[in-house]
Every structure is written in C-alpha cells, then in structure tokens.
C-alpha cells in the first residue's frame, strides 16, 4: 500500500494509472488509497466537460492544455469514453484526438470506460 501511495505522490504515471484502474473497478484497496492521498491533494481545481459525442470536447481540451501549461499548472486528464463491447475497456477516442499529451511528461492522461453508466460518466 505504501508503495502505491508513494508512487502517486512521486508522480509515477504507471502507478497513477494502475491506482485509477483499481478505484474504477472498486478494488478492495481503493478506499485506503483515497484515504491516504486525499490529505495531500492541496488546492487542486477540477474542471469537467460533458456534452454529446462529436461536439468538440477533445478539441477544446487540447487547446486549453497549452493555455494552462503556460500558467504553470500541472494537468491531469481523465477521459471517460464509451466502453468497448469486446474488451470492456475505454474505446480511447480522446487519446487519438489529443496526441500531444502522449509526449508531454507534465501531462497525465488516462482513459476510463463509462461502463454503461447513464450519462456516459463512470460511477467511480
């Protein structure tokens, strides 16, 4: 458990991605991970975008990345995509529309499947 929390706090993208998945599937360690990292979250701001498919959310977010980076913000993108009927995971459409995030070490991006939740947002 301490290795997971330490990895999150040290911005280890692999551990952050794995812990996101653990929380998404309600792994038994999820509550403990959240309990340990919450006091260290500081004054972060969350901005959410939602609208029907194809309306430009990914394009808008792609433009805002540069804007917020210029102000020194650290950026994390959790993209909720439709769930694949084959794999049960996210379809990853936003990753295709925001390829600049893949090469930028200052941006964390993770796609999560909606898991069939109403409104397209995963309950987790």
CATH number at residue 66: 3.40.50.300
Would you say 120 and 82 are in contact if contact means Cβ atoms under 8 Å apart?
Answer: yes
Angle subtended by helix axes 30-37 and 13-24, to nearest 10? 130
Round to the nearest angstrom and report the end-to-end CA distance of the chain: 20
Structure tokens at 35: 């309990």
Model confidence pLDDT, tens digit, residues 54-105 = 788 878 888 888 888 888 888 888 777 665 555 555 445 555 556 555 667 7
Q: Do 63 and 123 share a domain, yes or no?
A: yes
Q: Give the Å distances, CA to CA, from 101 to 19, 34, 73.
A: 20, 25, 14
Q: Do 16 and 40 share a domain, yes or no?
A: yes
Would you say 7 and 20 are in contact if contact means Cβ atoms under 8 Å apart?
Answer: no
Residue 106 domain boundaries: 49-124
pLDDT tier at 15, thresholds 50, 70, 90: very high
Max CA separation in the chain (angstroms) = 41
Cα–Cα nearest to 89, from 99, 81, 98: 81
Assess whether pLDDT exceeds 70 at residue 2: yes
Considering only residues 36 and 114, tell me which one the structure prediction assigns the higher pLDDT: 36
Mean of the per-residue pLDDT values of the chain: 77
pLDDT tier at 122, thresholds 50, 70, 90: low
Most confident of the following: 3-7, 46-50, 94-98? 3-7
Structure tokens at 122: 């995963």
Q: Do 111 and 71 share a domain, yes or no?
A: yes
Q: Do 25 and 76 share a domain, yes or no?
A: no
Q: Do 67 and 124 share a domain, yes or no?
A: yes
Q: Which residue has the tokens 């330490």?
A: 6
Q: Do 29 and 64 share a domain, yes or no?
A: no
Q: How many domains does the chain have?
A: 2
What is the predicted pLDDT for the residue at 115? 60
Q: Do 14 and 70 share a domain, yes or no?
A: no
């Amino acid at each position: 458990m301490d290795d997971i929390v330490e990895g999150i706090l040290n911005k280890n993208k692999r551990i952050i991605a794995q812990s996101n998945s653990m929380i998404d599937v309600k792994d038994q360690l999820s509550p403990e991970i959240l309990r340990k990292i919450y006091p260290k979250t500081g004054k972060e701001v969350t901005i959410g975008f939602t609208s029907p498919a194809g309306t430009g959310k990914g394009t808008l977010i792609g433009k805002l990345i540069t804007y917020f980076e210029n102000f020194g913000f650290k950026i994390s993108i959790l993209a909720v995509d439709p769930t694949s009927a084959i794999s049960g995971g996210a379809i990853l459409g936003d990753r295709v529309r925001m390829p600049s995030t893949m090469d930028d070490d200052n941006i964390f991006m993770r796609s999560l499947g909606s898991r069939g939740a109403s409104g397209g947002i995963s309950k987790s």
